[in-house]
Structure 1
Amino acid sequence: MAVAEITDVPPASQKPQTTAENGSPRSARVTGREFSRWYQNRQQRQNIENGKPYFNGPPRIPESGRHSPSRLLRCHRRSFYDTFNAPKETAAPQGIFWFGSKFETDIAVPFLRDQTGTDEYVRNSMWVDFTIRREGDDLRIRGETDPVVVDEDSTPLLLTEIKTTSSVTHLQEPKEQHLAQVHCYLYGLSEKYDCKLREAVVLYASREDFEVRTFHVDFDLAFWEDRVLPWAEQNTAFRQSKELPPAVPEYEWECQYCPYRRRCGKGDGPHADAGPTGLLPLVADYPREQIRTYLAAHPTAKLTPTLAHEFPELASEYGSYDWRCSVCGSSHTMRAVDWDGDVDQLPSCPDCRHREIPAELTGPSPEKQAVPMVEPES
């Protein structure tokens, strides 16, 4: 059998290039970090195109009496961290947000439209912004609903609250936090449109198999006055005093999913009861986007040495703290310390080398980082 001679193989100098035009390997542009950066830039562009460029800026700190319906009945400490823009230790669940939004617009809204009667319509959302007069400080509640069935005058007839979850098989009733959210909208829409809106449907959808479970909810005045409003009053008091609330979650499962576990003291590590400002000095795995959000919200903030090693481009932009020795108190610049980035083996203090057990260097504690707490908006 004759064997054909292969003569069309290019010499090495003519083989297809595997580097990008900028000189870096193409594969270097297809990484998790590059995807996160691309996705963040995409979100920023969409915010500008949608006329909401303020979403790209640092999170605003609301006045102490203002509350969002979606944040009611949470652990007070987590709410405190959220309010004052503490650095989150986990990435934002963008996939869950995306799925929830797509499910609502592409599936839930069309379904609701098919269920409406003559002269009934489905609005994608409605705003509420109302004030509850209390003996102490007034409570202002502001937020945006999920789809609402309305009449031809846009008067609300039926409120819906749509949630996605990993599974609905365990749900026997709506979650209390979602009930609080629904009550805010029922109360606010009734006041805004001078009607008696008393009924809502909470719809849960599984992200795994699209199984749906619905619950019909009536406005419960006792739940509103004895549970929701007292929580909001207590939360307002913590924010006014700027006193760190106790580490007592409202529900047992909250700590497991909290983005402030190590800061609070519920995770691994030596930290506990840290305030909302300052980065934990021995944590090198903060997500990049969360670090940038924190730095943008606190103009005087800088990176810890461990984070400066991990994110040199952010350190170049925002600066970094020096290494510090907890034994002798000496400080050392980033350039003066040779370290490979292993947080389980921190560098030794050069000034303590004469000791039997050399002291390890670390960054300043959150309390010693010169980051004042930003004042809420008035």
Structure 2
Amino acid sequence: MNFHAAHDLQPFWTLAAAPIQTRALEQALTLGLFERLRQPASAAALAAQLELDPVATSVWLDLLWSMELLSRHSALDAPATPRYTASPLALRHFTSASAQNCAQAWLYRAQFMERFANQWETLLHQGFDPRGAAAPQGSWAQAARVQIGQEQRVVTVPAVLGLIDTLALPATGRLLDLGGGPGHVGIALAQRLPRWQGVLCDQPETAEVAQENILAAGLSGRLQALGCDLETDSIGSGYDLIWCSAVLHFMRDPQALVHQACAALSPGGRLLLAHAEQVDDPELAARVLPFYGTLAVRGNHLPRPGGIGRMMAQAGLVDIQSLGRIDFPMAPVWVHAGRRP
């Protein structure tokens, strides 16, 4: 007889436990735990070093071990007092020296989700009030410089390059990273396409961050950052490839931007749109809605399957096809391609 079958309520008990795990990781990042545990240490030694309660510290470390963020080592002569080290996963993504560090990005997302979760009762009863929703001036640019920048470098860029490598692109051309934030995707595309020129376009404060990154990458001869309001300003023209991800969610008139992108393409040029979708598969929806459902509550655009393709067709694009789903920061997105005739 199997005495270990999970109860059908287990997923919801696991859900209830998630805030404890979130807080455990937040404290680990705040206290620089993973840097400290490059070398093995016991719970007692770490508690003394950080001036923490030894009992709570022991449970905290075991909790992080259960999340595969720590490794646990027990000596034969003292099995009850294990020592802990940071796991390869933690060292790769949650330490400042790593090129794949996403610590600030994860904290940024966790804190946003907590704030939104605390508003659920008000939102359900009163809906979203845009009067209290304005972000502080420059806050998005700062996020682009640090947190969004981490996500782009570590997660988005490899996914986009894997996609681009499947396309038969000409040796030369002109690209646009539309709404590209800190610009790491456009920079990576330019590095992968060494005979292409390009433009990285976003709001002015964020475009300044992108220009800094262009200079740091040594690509100022082939790339430039353009600061503009995507609702009202020109994005240029003569592009052979336009990459645009997660931008339509934030537009007052998403269809207008698709029309503008189509008009900005050279004949035969391609538009690639990558966005989250309100899918009918509950497993995928469970990955999308906690993050992008927050946008839908605010009245932002969260397309249903097929919606992006219809928008592209309405803008006059041809050879429209879905290139499939790719993993982006937080949740999967679906990539759609179309060509200007």
Larger Rg: 1
TM-score category of the 2 structures, normalised to the smaller one: under 0.3
**Structure showing the higher helix proportion among its residues:** 2
What TM-score do the two structures reach when normalised by structure 2?
A: 0.26
What TM-score do the two structures reach when normalised by structure 1?
A: 0.24
Which protein has greater RCO, CA pairs closer than 8 Å, 6+ apart?
1
**Structure showing the higher strand proportion among its residues:** 2
